[in-house]
Chain A
Amino acid sequence: MPTDPVPQMMEAIRLWSGVTSPNQAAQRGLADLAALIAEFEAVRGTLVFEDEPSSFEAALREEAEKRA
């Protein structure tokens, strides 16, 4: 039988961040994360081992419009 992940997530947030659920809407927000997990599953495997965050600023400059 599947376990409701929301209580586990609430406990993890309390443990890691010291933040407790402020209201019912927050718990609803946790439940909605299932959609995000599914979206990440869909793009799994696209991250290349050598990719690193610092490449973004370099990409901005490389992709800039070349002046005539």
Chain B
Amino acid sequence: MSDLTNLSVTEAVDAFAKGEATAEAMVRASLARIDAHDGKVNSVIRLDRDAAIEAAAAQDKARAAGAKPGPLSGVPMMNKDMYYRAGKVSTCGSKIRKDFRPTVTATVLQKLDAAGAIDMGTLNMAEFAQNPTGHNGHFGDCHNPWDLAYCTGGSSSGSGAGVAARFFAAALGSDTGGSIRLPATICGVTGIKGTMTRVSRAGVMPLSFSMDNVGPLTRTARDAARIMTVISGKDPLDPTSAPEEVPDYEAALTGDIRGLSIAVPKEWFFDGADDVVVKGFEAALGVLKARGAKVDYVSCPSLHAVGTYVTVVSRVEAAAIHAQWMREHPGDYAIHLSGRLYAGYAIPGHYYVETLSRRGPLLRQFCKEAFAGHDIVATPTLRTRVPTLAETDIDASPDNWARHMVVSANTRPFNYLGIPTVSVPCGFDDRGLPMGLQLSARPFAEGRALQVADAYQRDTDWHARVPAL
């Protein structure tokens, strides 16, 4: 087999199961590619080289002894540095937690381990997952593999950049306002956040209790489906996790979307959008129509209220979570983060209560507006072209804050609404940076969103393109 780093998750599992590639060979190929190129990209925080090789060799030995492969057997993975593994440092991208060693292991890591994934270490991220560009002054900014001057999107910067660079086949990110979907679209890979509460958050760094989601960044929708099937479901260690049965999401990937109806909201998502993004989005809709889907533009007035409320939840909850550190050593945060947290203390309690109180009614209203007669809501994931790192460096200039808010403008609403949302690559802008198509479905219909994403990828090759490093 030629280049093992080019294998997707499902291809790697198949190669392992058929004996065409060993887990150790796949891990060694990943490590070699990281060694060769991560000096430029800066996606890795901690590389567990020896442990990964050892774990891979153990899987090869078990397979040789006749053990049945798991759904992720032999797949090299790395994860955002906020998933706790007992005894291992989890920095959360911060100076404050640079030596933090949790005593528990995240449920999602345990599930990935049990499925056979090889955990090679941890990835760069925005400090405490709190910016949408991936800037990080403590560990150095992560760079976009398509052009190192551009941001990766955040907060799961290393997850997006590393998957795009073919350092590993998949990575966990987290998504509170777009932190999976933004690095996915900006780095040209696939990412999904499930329905709010669909995946356990036990052993995961919190940012916002009400809006945090765990999910994968992968090359393909099929890979995302595979991993979501593994990690979703009720967890006794996370009382907020949903008890709904988890289907086999891959089973929904038939390629057949004939008769499915797609709604495109007229409001919000195109305000100030760049022409090249709109054209790319419309071309993507054309692909779906050619596959037999119907597309309608619909009015969703609820989005204005959603857009107002969504920022309050995470800002107030983050301010509460960080209060003790903000009292004791605020200087250990990046300037932009301590500034953002500080403003959270000025937001009155009744704003927060109003925001949470309106969440259920607004979800119902949005579903009535968007999903009545429709299966999917489609939008661009990012309404502008990808910005450079310099254009969005808010530690250098607070004036760049407005650009940050624009970066996450199209992703934030779906965190407030809590509905499953996938981003898939849908082309490149006029500067050669990726663009993304965002597909949302009704609550607990992750399979529906993935079905359409997979159908799109059957007729396009954006997700298969590899950046030259």
A residues apposed to B, CB below 8 Å: 9, 12-13, 16-26, 28-30, 32-33, 36, 39-40, 42-43, 46-48, 51-53, 55-65
Q: A44: shortest Cβ distance to chain B, in Å?
A: 9
Give B196's nearest chain A residue, CB to CB: A60
Residues of B within 8 A of A52 (CB): 357
Q: A21: shortest Cβ distance to chain B, in Å?
A: 6
In the complex, which of the residues A36, A48, A56 contacts B363, with contact meaning CB atoms closer than 8 Å? Answer: A56
Residues of A within 8 A of B229 (CB): none
Question: Which of the candidate stretches B97-105, B138-146, B344-352 sits at the interface with the other chain?
Answer: B344-352
B330 contacts A22, CB within 8 Å?
yes
B308 near A: Cβ within 8 Å? Answer: yes
Q: Which among A24, A42, A56 has the greatest number of chain B C-beta atoms within 10 A?
A: A56
B445 contacts A65, CB within 8 Å?
yes
Q: B202: shortest Cβ distance to chain A, in Å?
A: 18
Identify whether the interface residues of A are mostly helix, strand, loop, or mixed. helix
A55 contacts B448, CB within 8 Å?
no
A51 contacts B358, CB within 8 Å?
yes
In the complex, which of the residues A12, A30, A55 contacts B343, with contact meaning CB atoms closer than 8 Å? Answer: A30
Q: Which 8 A-B pairs have the closest CB atoms?
A: A55-B360, A29-B343, A25-B339, A22-B330, A59-B360, A26-B342, A53-B356, A65-B445
Residues of B within 8 A of A32 (CB): 343, 401
Q: Which among A26, A47, A64 has the greatest number of chain B C-beta atoms within 10 A?
A: A26
Q: B376: shortest Cβ distance to chain A, in Å?
A: 10
Question: Which of the candidate stretches B69-77, B274-282, B436-444 sits at the interface with the other chain?
Answer: B436-444
In the complex, which of the residues B242, B342, B351 contacts A21, with contact meaning CB atoms closer than 8 Å? Answer: B342
A64 contacts B444, CB within 8 Å?
yes
- Rounded to whole angstroms, the CA-CA distance of A19 and B266 in the bound complex is 42
Residues of A within 8 A of B312 (CB): 36
- B308-332 near A? 1/0 per residue, CB < 8 Å: 1101100000010001001100110
Known: A16-B345, A56-B418. A25 touches B364 (CB 8 A): no
B333 near A: Cβ within 8 Å? Answer: yes
In the complex, which of the residues B358, B398, B443 contacts A60, with contact meaning CB atoms closer than 8 Å? Answer: B443
Q: A18: shortest Cβ distance to chain B, in Å?
A: 5
Q: B278: shortest Cβ distance to chain A, in Å?
A: 25
Residues of A within 8 A of B443 (CB): 60-61, 63-65
Give A47's nearest chain B residue, CB to CB: B354
Give A12's nearest chain B residue, CB to CB: B346
Q: Which of B391-422 contact A (CB under 8 A)?
A: 394, 398, 401, 418
B338 near A: Cβ within 8 Å? Answer: yes
Q: Which of B419-469 contact A (CB under 8 A)?
A: 441-445, 448
Give A8's nearest chain B residue, CB to CB: B346
B363 contacts A63, CB within 8 Å?
yes
